[in-house]
């Protein structure tokens, strides 16, 4: 019997598989397809202080081996998430979830995290300082050590639950930013968010996405994600939730060998809604193939 359990800041997960924020909604649409309680957990849709309609359409552009999205954090705002979305989610998912939070000022992060922290369904707060889709400030927090540390420190001051900071790959030195978050009190790191990309429509000779650029995700970015997780694992002493281009059980093993304790699956859910279920079911076979008895034993094994 293979042991798939992992531990994130004292929270034991049945397995390391977590659908990534923005690709799984609040879970209940996927619950119509399969029993989502097989998941380790899931990271729910990025939540902000106020409701957001998001960016203008079109918001999606297809690419070889991936996609570009510029949704712009469309969500009903934290009050409605707590009063409407979480009760609906509770009916289909009986484990704790990862709450993904975004903001456009330190005060907004503090307000939203303080509210979310009181919810018993939340196991970890994942603070997104890296969304590349939003004009006023979304990038700035994740691209400087000072700003990343300021958000981390402010959020930690009003929360009791583990806080994981979600980092942007669109930087020169992701290691220094991860270290700044750790020094400011982060309990863990989530990485990586999407790369910045674009496509041009040859017929109109204009960018495909209304926002011109968007977040590039999908299996093409896996090598970049692996490299960054590997580098950050060498530099920090807090757990990493790894993500970026993961689409099969082998990718999960590779991500954990680089240093991830748990692994989020994003764009693959949009291609195949059963992706996470299939990965979980396939993990024992892949573990057998590579002579792995216990997944937690391989974390950072490539170092």
Tens of pLDDT along 196-238? 999 999 999 999 999 999 999 999 999 999 999 999 999 999 9
Catalytic member of 113, 131, 258, 276: 131
The number of residues making up the chain comes to: 303
Q: What is the pLDDT of residues 130-172, one digit of tens each?
A: 754 444 444 568 999 999 999 999 999 999 999 999 999 999 9
Place of tokens 């800041």: 9
- What pLDDT shows up at residue 256? 99
- What pLDDT shows up at residue 140? 67
Is 131 labeled as catalytic in the residue annotation? Answer: yes
- Provide mean pLDDT across the span 94-115: 96
Q: Indicate the CATH number of 6-298 among 1.10.3720.10, 3.20.20.70, 3.30.530.20, 3.90.550.10.
A: 3.20.20.70
CA distance 286 to 269: 20
CA distance 247 to 116: 29
What kind and span of H or E run contains 286? Answer: helix 275-289
C-alpha dist (Å) from residue 95 to 26, 35, 79, 120, 224: 13, 12, 21, 10, 31
What kind and span of H or E run contains 152? Answer: helix 145-156
Confidence of residue 125 (pLDDT cuts 50, 70, 90): very high
pLDDT above 60 (res 87):
yes
Task: Tell me the two tokens of residue 17.
Answer: 């598989």
Q: With CA atoms as reference, report the closest residue to 195 among 66, 25, 42, 109.
A: 66
- What pLDDT shows up at residue 130? 76
């Amino acid at each position: 019997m293979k042991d798939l359990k992992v531990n994130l800041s004292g929270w034991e997960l049945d397995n390391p598989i977590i659908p990534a924020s923005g690709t799984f909604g609040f879970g209940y649409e996927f619950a119509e397809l399969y029993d989502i309680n097989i998941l380790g957990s899931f990271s729910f849709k990025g939540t902000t202080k106020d409701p957001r309609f998001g960016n203008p359409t079109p918001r999606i552009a297809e690419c070889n081996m991936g996609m570009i999205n510029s949704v712009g954090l469309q969500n009903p705002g934290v009050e409605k998430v707590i009063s409407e979305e979480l009760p609906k989610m509770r009916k289909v998912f009986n484990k704790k979830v990862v709450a993904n939070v975004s903001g456009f000022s330190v005060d907004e992060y503090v307000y939203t995290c303080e509210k979310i922290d009181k919810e018993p369904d939340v196991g970890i707060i994942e603070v997104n300082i890296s969304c590349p889709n939003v004009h006023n400030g979304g990038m700035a927090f994740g691209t400087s050590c000072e700003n990343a540390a300021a958000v981390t420190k402010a959020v930690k001051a009003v929360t009791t639950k583990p806080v994981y900071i979600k980092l942007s790959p669109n930087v020169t030195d992701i290691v220094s930013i991860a270290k700044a978050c750790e020094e400011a009190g982060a309990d863990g790191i989530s990485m990586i968010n999407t790369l910045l990309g674009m496509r041009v429509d040859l017929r109109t000779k204009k960018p495909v996405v209304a926002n011109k650029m968007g977040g590039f995700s999908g299996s093409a970015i896996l090598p970049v994600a692996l490299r960054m997780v590997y580098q950050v694992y060498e530099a920090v002493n807090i757990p990493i939730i790894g993500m970026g281009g993961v689409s099969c059980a082998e990718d999960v093993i590779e991500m954990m060998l680089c240093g991830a304790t748990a692994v989020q699956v994003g764009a693959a859910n949009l291609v195949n809604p059963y992706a996470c279920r299939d990965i979980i079911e396939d993990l024992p076979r892949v573990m057998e193939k590579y002579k792995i008895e216990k997944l937690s034993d391989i974390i950072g094994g490539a170092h």
